[in-house]
Amino acid sequence: MKPLLGISLKVLSALVFTMMSAVLKTLMDRYPTGEVVFFRSSFAILPLWLWLAWKGDLINGLRTKTVVGHFKRGFLGTGAMFLGFAALSFLPLHDAIAIGYASPLILVILAAILLKEKIRAYRWTAVAVGFIGVMIMLSPYLTPETFAGGILAGPSLGAICAFVGAVCSAGAMVQVRRLTGTEKTGAIVFYFFILASGLSFCTILLGWNMPDAKDLALFVLGGILGGIGQILLTESYRYADASVIAPFDYTTMVWALLFGWLMFGDLPTPTILVGAAIVAATGLFIVWREHRLGLERSEELKVASQKPGA
């Protein structure tokens, strides 16, 4: 395990995924969600093929030992993608991402229960503090006025989609962590994209719109960014425990605020900024804590190696 490498890959994937979300959000008002998911998944295969070819591992990289595991990850991940894009069509970029912050919190719990990962009190405390920050950012959607137009209308529906998507995303990441024990990154990402493309293509029966050249270029860009982000994300779980890197989803808030302002003119409220500051602080604390633990482990191994008979 290399926690700092895993964290670095996670942070980079967060940036790439936020760029992807910003690009695809520009298309959500003109195209059905299923169509957006299809193009995002299909074009994401391109960087995967190039990456495997560059490694010289194109054939071996796609071999699999557990088809069932890929199906579980695929269905959960596709559900999270559908719900996440649906949320983007109703909410500002930074709000949709803020609600998605429930996913790392759920993931820590699932990692402890399902993966039997050891989570120390410091990390539990950091997650609890991060949850407070998430609740602060969600507070505008917890008022009676928010639901005045009906729970299945506008921002309320977007908030529900974002939260349920966060649950699906946490489940998918647990399955990714399991798959990294026997599967290569290429296989995990490839079979997810294939299944997501197939499931989303079925929505063509509900009606799709033919994209023009400009929109097609945006679909291609969004898909390529999604493919790169997925590779980085999957690799991050290979080098660190899920509960260690999960809180670094919070870094997407910084990028969401920037892209939301530059591309859509959405300015964050003080509530969003306070919540983002809290969750960013928890991430930095975990980096510091993992660094300290790494130093302690190195010292223990050094002492043990110097004992007679070691």
Among residues 9, 64, 48, 19, which one has the least CA distance to residue 184? 64
Mean pLDDT of 9-24: 92
Distance CA 110, CA 131 (A): 15
The residue type at 45: I
In a domain, 127, yes or no: yes
Give the chain's domain count. Answer: 1
Which residue range is the domain that position 61 belongs to? 3-305
Question: What pLDDT band is residue 304 in, cutting at 50, 70 and 90?
Answer: low
Percent of the chain having pLDDT more than 90? 27
Binned at pLDDT 50, 70 and 90, residue 303 comes out as low
Contact 276, 137 (CB under 8 A): yes
22-78 confidence digits (pLDDT tens)? 999 999 989 999 999 999 999 999 998 888 888 777 777 778 888 888 999 999 999
The predicted structure's pLDDT at residue 231: 83
Express each pLDDT in 83-130 by its tens digit: 999 999 888 888 888 788 778 777 877 888 887 877 778 778 888 888
pLDDT of residue 147: 61
**H runs (alpha helix) in the chain:** 3-25, 33-43, 45-55, 67-90, 93-100, 102-114, 121-138, 154-179, 185-201, 213-239, 242-245, 252-264, 270-305
Residue 134 has pLDDT above 90, yes or no: no
Residue 270 included in any domain: yes
Q: What is the rounded CA–CA span in Å between residue 75 and residue 72?
A: 5
Once rounded to an integer, what is the mean pLDDT over residues 199-223? 94
CA distances from 258 to 15, 25, 255, 266, 278 (A): 11, 14, 5, 9, 18
Is the pLDDT at 152 greater than 80, yes or no?
A: no
In-domain check, residue 295: yes
Question: What count of Cα atoms within 13 Å lies in the side-chain half-sphere of residue 269?
Answer: 10
- Please report the sign of the dihedral spanned by the C-alpha atoms of residue 23, residue 16, residue 204, residue 218: positive
Average pLDDT over residues 295-303: 66
Q: Are 67 and 79 in contact (CB under 8 A)?
A: no
Angle at 49 between CA 238 and CA 93, to 5 degrees: 70
**Using an 8 Å Cβ cutoff, are 85 and 37 in contact?**
yes
CA separation for the pair 310, 303 (Å, rounded):
10
Q: What is the pLDDT of residues 237-289, one digit of tens each?
A: 778 876 677 677 778 878 888 888 888 888 777 887 788 778 778 777 776 77
pLDDT bracket for residue 150 (50, 70, 90): low
User: Could you tell me the two tokens for 185?
Assistant: 């990154």
- What's residue 15's pLDDT? 92
Amino acid at 120: R
Contact criterion met (CB below 8 Å) for 247 and 282? yes
Instruction: Calculate the alpha carbon distances from 265 to 17, 51, 75, 256, 268 in Å.
Output: 20, 35, 34, 12, 10
- Answer whether residue 202 shows pLDDT above 60: yes
Integer-rounded Cα Rg, in Å, for the chain is 20
Alpha-carbon distance values, 123 to 17, 98, 136, 226, 283 (Å): 25, 20, 20, 29, 10
- Nearest-5° angle of CA 39, CA 44, CA 47? 150
Q: Is residue 310 part of a domain?
A: no
- Distance (Å, whole) CA 192 – CA 41: 8
Q: Would residue 11 count as lying in a domain?
A: yes
Q: Tokens standing for 194?
A: 């294939």
pLDDT of residue 291: 64
Q: What is the pLDDT of residue 181?
A: 82
- Indicate whether 162 belongs to any domain: yes
Asked if residues 14 and 200 have their Cβ atoms less than 8 Å apart, the reply is: no
Q: Is residue 274 within 8 Å of 307, Cβ to Cβ?
A: no
